């Protein structure tokens, strides 16, 4: 996708991207749901969600994060998951019904134009969806708009470990913990690695288009975008492929 894309190109990009998952959402969910549980749970923990709260999951996919969050906040709270893929939304709704989760709702909605009330959510989460948004700054501004003052934003992306600083120390600590845990309960953590395995072994999964804003260092570029979207950068925390920030 060219940097100076027209609005028409942007809209087609979103249609192509979301449509690429429609026919394979069940396969996607079966693999990612089993392999990414620790990753998802860590995201939800970072958001510090509590019973009674209202949570938004942007780019919800098959509802893996939204369903996990809904169970944690119990029936006194509620979760809304939004996505453009009809196939993903169908799977997410069916999965919630099978699990008996009644406090989650899935809506077909563009993350760049979130049709929900301003300052209405305690936390906003988004797992590995930012690379699918051609206008990420628009998405981040919408996330900021719907968050209550002091609310939490947690965004996960696949990015390299920082070469120095506190983020690298956290990454090394997490890496050691994971290596120990792997000996007793094997899991896959890297989203890109998970998708690579799915494409290799299932054979028929499409390679979805990705937006170009991330470049070679999406983590660093995402932080720059967050600073432009009115979030309080003084409370920004990097934790091994996840960014948590306060509104």
Q: At what angle do helices 86-99 and 64-73 cross, to 10 degrees?
A: 30
Q: Which tokens in the block code for residue 109?
A: 């909605």
What is the per-residue pLDDT for 7? Answer: 42
Residues above pLDDT 90, as percent of the chain: 40
Per-residue pLDDT reduced to its tens digit, 35-55? 778 888 888 998 999 999 999
Per-residue pLDDT reduced to its tens digit, 57-98? 999 999 999 999 999 998 999 999 999 999 999 999 999 999
Report the C-alpha gap between 191 and 188 in whole angstroms: 8
Q: Which tokens in the block code for residue 225?
A: 């975008």
Q: Which residues pair with 147 in a beta bridge?
A: 121
Instruction: Please identify every stretch of the chain with a pLDDT value under 50, giving residue numbers as ranges.
Output: 1-7, 160-164, 166-167, 188-190, 205-209
Report the C-alpha gap between 159 and 241 in whole angstroms: 6
Counting other chains too, the contacts that 34-39 makes at CB distance below 8 Å and 24 or more residues apart are 35/187, 35/188, 35/194, 36/64, 36/187, 36/188, 36/189, 36/191, 36/194, 37/187, 38/178, 38/181, 38/187, 38/189, 39/127, 39/156, 39/189, 39/191
- Residue 35: CB atoms within 10 Å: 19
What is the per-residue pLDDT for 48? Answer: 92
Whole-model pTM: value is 0.72
Residues above pLDDT 70, as percent of the chain: 65
Closest-CA residue to 239 (of 154, 177, 180, 182): 154
Report the C-alpha gap between 243 and 136 in whole angstroms: 15
């Amino acid at each position: 996708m060219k940097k100076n894309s027209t609005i028409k190109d942007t809209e087609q990009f979103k249609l192509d991207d979301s449509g690429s998952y429609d026919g394979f959402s069940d396969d996607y969910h079966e693999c990612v749901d089993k392999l990414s549980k620790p990753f998802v749970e860590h995201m939800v923990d970072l958001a510090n969600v509590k019973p009674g709260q209202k949570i938004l999951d942007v780019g919800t996919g098959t509802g893996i994060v939204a369903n996990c969050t809904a169970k944690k906040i119990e029936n006194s709270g509620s979760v809304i998951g939004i996505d453009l893929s009809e196939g993903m939304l169908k799977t997410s709704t069916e999965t919630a019904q099978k699990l008996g989760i009644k406090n989650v709702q899935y809506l077909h909605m563009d993350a760049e134009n979130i049709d929900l009330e301003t300052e209405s959510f305690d936390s906003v989460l988004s797992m590995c969806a930012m690379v699918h948004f051609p206008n990420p700054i628009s998405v981040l501004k919408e996330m900021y708009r719907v968050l209550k003052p002091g609310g939490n934003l947690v965004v996960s992306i696949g990015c390299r470990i920082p070469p120095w600083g506190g983020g690298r120390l956290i990454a090394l600590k997490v890496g050691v913990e994971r290596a120990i845990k792997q000996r007793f309960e094997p899991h896959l953590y890297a989203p890109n690695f998970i998708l690579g395995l799915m494409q290799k072994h299932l054979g028929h999964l499409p390679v979805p288009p990705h937006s170009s804003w991330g470049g070679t260092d999406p983590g660093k570029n995402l932080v720059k975008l967050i600073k432009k979207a009115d979030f309080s950068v003084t409370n920004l925390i990097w934790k091994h492929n996840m960014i948590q920030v306060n509104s």
